[in-house]
Amino acid sequence: MNSPLMIGFLALTFLTCGSAFFMLWTKNVLHAALAMFMTMLGLAGFYVLAFADVMAVSHLMIYVGGVLILILFGIMMTGQRTSKTGQTNELFTEQKGRFWAFFIDFTVFLSLSWLLGQQHFYAFSDLDRNSKLGQAGLSFMLEYSFPFELTGVFLLIALVGATYIAKNHE
Amino acid sequence: MNEIPLVFFLWVGAFLFATGLSIILIKRNVIFVLMGVELMLNAANLNLIAFSRGDDQNQGLMMGLFVLVIGVCEMSIALAIILQVYRRFKKIDIDQFQSRN
């Protein structure tokens, strides 16, 4: 239990779960976006520890580089200027009490971990510690070529549609 | 060097899933709810990657990469819709959406 791998795993667990819990605790949307940034960094670390380097790099690029910027733009463009006094922080959100949040969180987590404790998982084969980049590229070109093309077209359609929806229809 | 047991990854995934679920149920800002959806999506993705560790065909890894792209599509469309909702109603609370019977 004292291997450097395990120590790194524990540190990443504190980072990921702590910032996810902070997302649940805070009422400020901007703080939650920054906590989500830390969660995504921790998840990329988990992917590295699971020997999936392709996933880690693409996750970092897409989430930290793309989705988070999108969310920050969304927060900026929907700043609620409804308060009359103008003194309150406009980024605060309403929520229905913290007790229920923690209650739902821990109940679902405990029941899921109880379920996981009942199971016995077996691996198909031995762990492959090498980089998965070459294998993933070959799989994209060989057996997953049709889903790959389909996903590309889907992404194109989704981005064009999002641009059209976000346009100012006046 | 001994390996990290598989169930540790699953526990982290379970915690992220539970947190995302309670964010969706509790928070009332739509962008907050969207962040909860992303958290749940990534928890499921972590499970896929953790199971793919012991698979020489890398099926979970490929599925996870596709899920990543679909998640980005969902995120961009949802933010565009939220922007339009804000333009029309000047507000993005969950409770404001009520059907007219």
Ordered by start, the domain boundaries in chain B are 8-92
Residue B38: helix, strand or coil by DSSP?
helix
Q: What is the pLDDT of residue A76?
A: 85
What pTM was computed for the model?
A: 0.88
Q: Is residue A116 part of a domain?
A: no
Q: What is the pLDDT of residue B92?
A: 76
Using a CB–CB cutoff of 8 Å, tell me whether A109 touches chain B. Answer: yes
Res. B3: pLDDT tops 60: yes
Q: What is the pLDDT of residue A157?
A: 95
- Whether residues A141 and A69 share a domain: the answer is no
Q: What is the pLDDT of residue B56?
A: 79
- Whether residues A132 and A103 share a domain: the answer is no
CATH assignment of B8-92, among 1.20.1250.20, 1.10.357.10, 1.10.287.3510, 3.10.20.600 = 1.10.287.3510
Q: What is the pLDDT of residue B35?
A: 92
Dist CA B79 CA B74 (whole Å): 9
Over residues B1-27, the mean pLDDT reads 87
User: How many CB atoms are located within 10 Å of the residue A29 CB?
Assistant: 25
Q: What is the pLDDT of residue B99?
A: 62
Using a CB–CB cutoff of 8 Å, tell me whether A154 touches chain B. Answer: yes
Interface of B with A in 48-87 (CB under 8 A): 49-58, 61-62, 64-66, 68-73, 75-77, 79-84, 86-87
Name the stretches of chain A with pLDDT < 50.
Answer: 84-89
| Cβ-defined contact of B61 to A112 (cutoff 8 Å) | no
How many domains in chain A? 2
Q: Domain range spanning residue A3?
A: 1-111
Using a CB–CB cutoff of 8 Å, tell me whether B89 touches chain A. Answer: no
Using a CB–CB cutoff of 8 Å, tell me whether A142 touches chain B. Answer: no
Does the interface ipTM go beyond 0.90?
no
What's the pLDDT tens digit per position in A46-62?
999 988 889 999 999 99
pLDDT averaged over chain B? 86
- Measure CA A116 to chain center: 22
Using a CB–CB cutoff of 8 Å, tell me whether A32 touches chain B. Answer: yes
Portion of chain A with pLDDT greater than 90, in percent: 40
